[in-house]
Chains A and B, each alone.
Chain A
Amino acid sequence: MALQPFLALAAILFGLGLYGALTKRNLIIVLISIEMMLNAANINLVAFAHFLPKPNIEGQVYALFNIAIAAAEVAVGLAILLSFFRTRDTSDVRDMNSMKW
């Protein structure tokens, strides 16, 4: 197999994630979209690690790190979501606008 299909998959996944993160109103969907972008990056890491002239293991190690970080991020994100929902009774991103001038 060649490198290109992996990159194409990663690009599509990242594009979808970006689109979702920037347009969806529901905070949960936004979080999921962010996970999609992270995973697109993971695919790139693993693919490059495998298809380089000198294949190595670092790419996969980094992908594992990323997965761990993503888990932590989701935990924090969901905690914020819960707390926000309890106080404001909504999960709409557009209502999260209190930290402006």
Chain B
Amino acid sequence: MIGLTWLVPVLPLVAYLVLLFTGKRMSEVAITTISVLAVLIGFVISITVVSSVAGHGPYAPVVYNWLTFGPTTITMGYQVTNLNALMLLVVTLVSTLVFLFSKSYMHGDERFSRFYQYLNLFVFSMLGLVITSNLLELYIFWELVGVCSYLLVGFWYFKPEAAVAAKKAFIVTRVGDVGLFIGVILLYLGTGSFDFTTIFAHLHHFSSMQSALGAMGRDAITHLMTVQTWVTISALLVFVGAVGKSAQFPLHVWLPDAMEGPTPVSALIHAATMVAAGVYLVARMFPLFQASAAASETVAIIGGVTAIFAASIGLTQRDIKRVIAYSTVSQLGYMMLAMGVGAYVSGMFHLMTHAFFKALLFLAAGSVIHAIDTQDLFEMGGLRKYMPITHATFLAGALALSGIPPFAGFWSKDDILTAAFDSGHYVLYAFGLIAAFFTAVYIFRVYFLTFSGTYKGSKHPHEGGIAMTLPLIVLGFLATFAGFINTPFAPLLGNFLQPNGPVGYDPPANWGLMAISAITGLLGIWVAYSLYSGGKRADAFAKRMGILYQLSFHKWYIDELYAAIIVLPVVTIADGLQFVDRYIVDGAVRLLGEVGYAGGVSLKYSADGQIQTYGLISVFGIAIVLIVALLIGGVL
């Protein structure tokens, strides 16, 4: 079955093409069936791929030559490794469930088939990104998922906020993409290849570049920098790409706004898969980051700061999806932190569990929004009675997110915190721990505001159909039990991801730290319970927090800051250039036209239709011409 791996990304592409040409005439059921089948078959293949990889270890790349110039050949192809086999499994599983969920969520939308086209295209790009064997191809898919994200965030383009959010998502991630592209080029200059395996083999010495790229590339690099600087700069630039895609601290602003898209999109793209691509990239390029302590340190710091920073914003947002979005940013920060301190397995483990419980939280939120048509937390309440399945699964997701044992999030998050502690990053450990406390508070704030108390709205909330509840139940199950694949007692995932000996640092169990994390989570839940389950206490508390509350509610004014120092100057320059173009360049052209037109208009009155006047003027004209000609000719 390993030979069929290429089918996994190709099936959604086929589904996309089929829907593109015939989707308009199909019924919603047919569209859903085709799409779900495409990813479901991919999921089944992925299971077999994972099982063969588990026995065999990474396979050699399957490539064909695409371009040959000079001494380099650029290849296209795919490679099955333990890492991307795991990603294939996660992406296809979550996609299948989200595809199913979307059927009822998007029911009746007039662009239903267009929605599934975009989703299929996205899944194709994401899977391609995962199994590609070289950086250039990865970059292509990297841009493709960005485009799909843009299309899907702006799916309801007639809402101005959605259109703006789509543009913002595209432009902000583009900042990161440019960094990644420069990094890719730099790695190519250094090693003469885009292939992962070649790049990793050439990381430590320039001499090997000679054979790959010739003297030209080696001289260009060696004159500028040492091997170590080159590795560090390349790693940092690759990380810039990951920062953009995974919404890490300076570039996190697009992800919360991207919540304007339909909720299944938020679950699939902006929680489980695409935003995890940044973490995946760092994991895929792990040897590069291992080779540079400075780059790893940067990754760890950015990750830790993002984790606590985003969690602190999540505490006060009013929109249910925005809270979960900031939670995503924060959890991605954890993963980066793990990668930064070298805990490769922990980071991927958290990526996987997070994909499950965050997709679950989003889908549950989608189910709530679908039922009562509002996203404002303060208009909800009491939904436990009306929506028992959504309530139970959301609770499972929330417990997993808060890191309460034995739910999935506990094992992975605790792994990361232990790794941060063991590697001596005590400040980052403290950040992570405080962020874990915040996490428990904000997600249970959402839980209590949504499900406890009494319903404040006027709708009649009820569960969606089986297509909605089934994905919730499956994901709820996963959010509860997925952690057991990598407990300290049975590190199955650890063994799977490290077939050729340890990669990075895999922390051993630390019972003390485990207890601290669990207690922190419980403490957070207790705080949320005492503040939000009983009415007015939260408002009084918010008032007492004063400036801190304001900072959190206004997202630390980052958007305002960017508006002032980046958007405003750019817009001012653009306005200036537009003025020059519109009034000076265009003005000159229009002036010429206007002169001709005005001349014509004013002269037309001299043509009064009197043939004798015309004749007279002609005679005088000819006379003048004749006299001048004769004068010049010297006759007169």
Contact = CB atoms under 8 A, between A and B. Distances in A.
Interface residues of B, number: 11
Contacts of B565: none
Contacts of A22: 612, 615-616, 619
| Most A C-beta atoms less than 10 A away, residue of B605, B609, B615 | B609
Contacts of A23: 612
B608 interface: yes
A93 interface: yes
B600 to A, nearest CB: 10
Contact of A94 (B605, B607, B610, B619): B610
Number of contact residues on A: which range applies? 10 to 19
B611 A101 contact: no
A101 B615 contact: no
Interface string B604-631: 1101111110011001000000000000
Contacts of B604: 101
A100 B608 contact: yes
A1 interface: no
Interface in B131-172: none
SS of B interface (majority): helix
Contacts of B612: 21-23, 93-94
Nearest to A96: B611
B607 A100 contact: yes
A98 B609 contact: yes
B155 to A, nearest CB: 55
Contacts of A99: 609
B615 to A, nearest CB: 5
A18 interface: yes
A84 B213 CA distance: 91
Nearest to B616: A22
Interface in A79-101: 93-94, 96-101
A30 to B, nearest CB: 8
A101 B603 CA distance: 11
Contacts of B619: 18, 22
Interface in A1-35: 18, 21-23
A79 to B, nearest CB: 17
B622 to A, nearest CB: 11
A18 B619 CA distance: 9
14 contacts: A18-B619, A21-B615, A22-B612, A22-B619, A23-B612, A93-B610, A94-B610, A94-B612, A96-B611, A97-B608, A97-B610, A101-B604, A101-B605, A101-B607
